[in-house]
Structure 1
Amino acid sequence: MALALTALLLAPVPACRERVTVPPGAPTPWPAASARRWTWQWQLAGPVDVSVDADVFLLDPVRTTSAETAALRARGRRLVCQVRVGTYAAGDADATRFPAALRGAAVPGRPGSRFLDLRRWDALAPVLADRFRLCRGKGFGAVALDDADGYRHRSGFPLGFDEQLLFNRRLAGLARRLDLSPGLVDDVAQVAALAPDFDFAVNQECVRRRECAKLLPFVDADKPVFHVEYTGDRAASCVTATGYGFASIRKDRALDAWREPCPLP
């Protein structure tokens, strides 16, 4: 019986997906009727595999070429760019635009990266706006805000819950003004407060961390949650994630083209 159940869970299921061509310059729409039916791909390393059968692609806007985004848009894919908003990386093309006073403690496990003083909206907004414009110029219709939880780390600045909340809401508003649909990456502790401000969520390992229920404000509002697990029993994590209404995949931490999607419910 257990083997039969596992085979059933891992079998591919035809997707009832809504194909909508988003015109250039328009933010990506997320129809409520499709909130639990999306399939997705997250690729930040290697040449973008445009042949992957997924509705939504989360990509690096710097590495991804305009030709790749054009090829994906021609296939009716929704494109989301991932932008780091709360950290600085020495190798970034715009690194010199972040004054030394805005750079705080080192980000653990990421050499050359430092947390930013998100209280300095006046200094950060112009740089982040240009990062968003890069996304828009390459044909992305949505932006996923990464490193948006500096207040939970030893950032080198006295950042609190409220400062982070204000910063993230400002970012969501900035994205909308630039015709991008805003999405929240992780920052699970603030989901209840931020779900009204964002159109979708991206989450890593809520099954392993036992915190998937905290993402329900998005699901309850018919907004998609794009979820990934890297380890653990795939069948069990698929049951949990799809049970919550998430679009779930298994990936390597390198986030190359390989993926194993969970079957749709």
Structure 2
Amino acid sequence: MKIFLLASLLLLPFWVTAGNPILVAAQPTITETVFLPLVASQKAENPQIWRPTPGTSWQWQLSGDTIDTSFDVEMYDIDLINSQATIDQLHADGRIVICYFSAGTLEPWRPDANDFPPEVIGEKMSGWKEYWLDIRRLDILGPIMAARLDLAKQKNCDGIEADNIDGYTANSGFPLTYQDQITYNIWLSEQAHQRGLSIGLKNDLDQIADLLPYFEWALNEECFGYNVCSWLTPFVQANKAVFGVEYDFETSEFCPQVNALNFDFLKKNWDLDAWREACR
């Protein structure tokens, strides 16, 4: 596991001389220390943070003029820009509300899009009108993402879906490394937890071993199509829900496998409108 590397950002190194530890001050690695990951609190200790277990029903709607609130499910995953009235209605109906935004790309239509300076905007994401971000620049991205998390807290979201947190695997325009992504993703988790928000690991299968302790649940797209669903089993083994969707297969094709793995999957349209077919 690579999470021990993060400790070096925060813990002072020590050497033992004659049986006594001597602390030697380490040089800070970034200037905006307020945005460092808090490794000591890697697990969400707040008992109020939502921790779904396998078998949790859910709905995912990120498009459409209005949110269809009629589904009898435990959790709704909707965009952060949805109205307060929609969130309040879902809560009144007894639903958990997860609020979506992209943490790894610039979405030009978001209200805060102009807050991103050119130096952190990279290549266009293949197939989408979004642009990869330089996640190494927490001095710039930190305040922007923190403001989004503050908004999620203000709107009474129960948690967040932070999308595109695997940019190190993409042609981002930046030399992002595995460790850059780990650092950024843990920072997002810690910032969410500080606000009492649950957070799910979106895709990013290669880093599950390192990130499992920091995320309450997982959300995956198309693991069946890529034959990698088994990679998500550590979440279920930790009694954490695995939510997922397939777009191009019939439920009769993928539901038997994901049900056997104790995942909670839907068939959805690519537009992620209200339509859904649940595996269970």
Question: Residues 83-137 of structure 1, C-alpha deviation per residue, up to 9 Å, x if partnerless?
Answer: 21111122221111111101111111223x2111100111111100111122122
Matches of 1:232 and 1:59, distance apart in 2: 23
Residue correspondences, number:
234
Structure 1 residue runs without a partner (length 5+):
1-24
Q: 1:91 aligns with which of 102, 105, 109?
A: 109
* Distance verdict in 2 for CA 1:232–1:171, change over 3 Å: same
Matches of 1:224 and 1:166, distance apart in 2: 23
Between structure 1 and structure 2, the one with the greater Rg is 2
Matches of 1:204 and 1:216, distance apart in 2: 15
SS in structure 2 at match of 1:167: helix
* Distance verdict in 2 for CA 1:195–1:168, change over 3 Å: same
In the other structure, the counterpart of 1:243 is 260
In the other structure, the counterpart of 1:181 is 198
SS in structure 1 at match of 2:244: strand
Contact 2:54 2:264 in 1 (8 A): yes
* 1:107 and 2:128 are equivalent in the alignment: no
Structure 2 residue runs without a partner (length 5+):
1-45
In the other structure, the counterpart of 1:81 is 99
Q: 2:163 aligns with which of 121, 126, 146?
A: 146
* Distance verdict in 2 for CA 1:125–1:177, change over 3 Å: same
Contact 1:192 1:214 in 2 (8 A): no
- 1:1-265 matches, within 5 Å, as 27-30=48-51, 35-46=53-64, 47-62=66-81, 64-111=82-129, 113-263=130-280
SS in structure 2 at match of 1:59: strand
Matches of 1:105 and 1:203, distance apart in 2: 23
Identify which range, 42-51 or 229-238, moves more after superposition. Answer: 229-238
CA RMSD between the two structures: 1.4
| TM-score after normalising by structure 2 | 0.81
Q: Quote the offset at 1:76 in angstroms.
A: 1.1
Matches of 2:114 and 2:48, distance apart in 1: 29
Q: Quote the offset at 1:231 in angstroms.
A: 1.5
Matches of 2:127 and 2:47, distance apart in 1: 36
Letter in 2 for 1:224: A
Q: Quote the offset at 1:73 in angstroms.
A: 0.5
Matches of 1:26 and 1:95, distance apart in 2: 34
Identify which range, 232-241 or 220-229, moves more after superposition. Answer: 232-241
Letter in 1 for 2:127: G
Q: Quote the offset at 1:236 in angstroms.
A: 2.6
Matches of 1:247 and 1:48, distance apart in 2: 21
Identical positions, percent: 36
Identify which range, 41-50 or 227-236, moves more after superposition. Answer: 227-236
